[in-house]
A and B are shown apart, each in its own frame.
Chain A
């Protein structure tokens, strides 16, 4: 079920990105409505884990799996929520577009999708090395985010461009946060495999 939820997140992400890049307000509305699907899976998984813990009192690896699923579930739900935020920003932003920024977003969107896939696959396969690779992928999204910030600051002085720039800054931040959540999923894979909880990178990064 978790993998199903993951696939829904990827769909939401693609929808949100396209809506952003093409300024497609109708698609944005669809993305917003689609979040109910993710929420439905989220609640079902949460209930399932609750029931499992109450009735089976799992221990050791079974318990770690239950806890890991709970956390990954939450991260996926948050990622989907960020897609909704992006869609809402598309609706609020005026139609103006800067091609360099659009390119930047396309790149960030691809990275975010890639990270989501890597996170889901490494969890399913209990692949510690692959989970750890998410840190490097995240660095790439962070750099892309910084480039977006830089471009926004260089935008023209018309109020329209400035407003657009602001919205796009927030959208960029959403994508960067999606990347962070993917890393968090990777950390849960590490927890599952090693029994140790540790952050992949130090928070001061």
Chain B
């Protein structure tokens, strides 16, 4: 338990920065909608709505119906999720590897606590941070949406989007966590996590441009839950199960491999 709290404490400063960032992003984004909808000269949403698919994909907005408030928020959701993935990877690849990287392994690993327990407690701490991230996004969004458009509540849609974001973030967390648990070299595991993230991001852009690429979807967590579905209050059941299974598998694999391997001191 003390380990759990200690880990949370160590990320406090980082968390502060990220919270500020989220608040700014969400605030600025939704604030802009207000400016636009309250009689701007250019009806951006209408125009964007008629953009060709490839064009939208370039901006990372493929498949998002911009013509409604929900759709507009979907844009923001898409962007915050990217940041969420970066956050998850940073924490996931770092929290386990830091003991070897900072050479504190000789301190922690000889304490009367099994490696498995250490791993699980760290995972719990990392997950908590992800939860905080999602809650902050949720709360900020809800608050600002309420202020900007009290009537057009999209609270249900928002809830679905936040849950989706949470799952996607947990996916990236689990993958990078596993890489750190499995690989001896902390540098390599963090670079690999970065590659995974970049690849999935670029693939998501490609999927937007080209048709018939749905087969790639399994490689792109960002696309597991399409915004259209979320706005319809629907979480794709296949991907829901898939992602949960993947997360669990990654965790079990981490718990299996980590105690077995040599620690790089």
Bound pair (A, B): no
Q: Which residues of A contact B (CB under 8 A)?
A: none
